[in-house]
Amino acid sequence: KAGVTQTPRYLIKTRGQQVTLSCSPISGHRSVSWYQQTPGQGLQFLFEYFSETQRNKGNFPGRFSGRQFSNSRSEMNVSTLELGDSALYLCASSLNPGGATEAFFGQGTRLTVV
Amino acid sequence: GESVGLHLPTLSVQEGDNSIINCAYSNSASDYFIWYKQESGKGPQFIIDIRSNMDKRQGQRVTVLLNKTVKHLSLQIAATQPGDSAVYFCAETGPNQAGTALIFGKGTTLSVSS
């Protein structure tokens, strides 16, 4: 079956702009999590959605937001982009939330802020 | 804050050797641990997981060991191959985490020479 699909793969934005990233989970998976990966901070949890509700949120400013649709697809948005937002944004899907659940990652969206 | 870390940022081995990648975690309440492999340009790929009620789990050429007494996790790769070259991350989640928020270590880069 198809894996987790993230679009776009690459993105270049200017400081101050906003960006929306998309994630389609594995068919049947209802939980979607987002992570930011940078060389300095590594992989950091952003937020998780299940049944269109945000279940958990990491320690990121309010400029980072997300949502989930009824078909489990998810989007994350970053407003007022800063240079430090340049990163690989990864989406992971799992069958159900609640810990101890295998999460499958997409290939990520590489965001560059100039 | 609580975090999961790896002992060594890099590990170089010869093809055919066994590799051992280590990880120390700080949250004694964590009850689920995962090892991921990330190749260049790709998202993390699930390798193997283990729950806190186990101390060893084996997969194909891989074994994960969990020592809860010293809060240590290791990944053993048997007969390491060039295709095993990647960055390896340990991740944990626990009962105090709603949903499947994973806390990742910094990663160990495994280089396999033939």
Q: Which residues contact A85 (CB under 8 A, 6 or more apart)?
A: A78, A111, A113
Pick left, alpha or beta for residue B23 (phi over 0 → left; psi -120 to 50 → alpha; otherwise beta): beta
Do A92 and A76 meet the contact criterion of CB atoms below 8 Å apart?
no
Tell me what pLDDT residue B96 has.
Answer: 53
The yes-or-no verdict on residue B27 having pLDDT over 90 is no
Place of tokens 């095993």: B84
Q: Which residues of B touch A90 (CB under 8 A)?
A: 43-44
Do B76 and B62 meet the contact criterion of CB atoms below 8 Å apart?
yes
The yes-or-no verdict on residue A86 having pLDDT over 50 is yes
Read off the pLDDT of each residue in A36-45 and give the average, rounded to a whole number.
93
Whether the bond between A25 and the residue before it is cis, its omega within 30 degrees of 0, is no
Q: How far apart are CA B73 and CA B33, in angstroms?
A: 8
User: Between residues A106 and B93, which one has the greater pLDDT?
Assistant: A106
The yes-or-no verdict on residue A99 having pLDDT over 70 is no
Would strands B4-6 and A109-113 be described as parallel, antiparallel, or unpaired?
unpaired
- Chain A interface includes B49 (CB < 8 A): yes
- Chain A interface includes B5 (CB < 8 A): no
Residue type present at position A45: F
Q: Which residues of A touch B106 (CB under 8 A)?
A: 42
- Chain A interface includes B30 (CB < 8 A): no
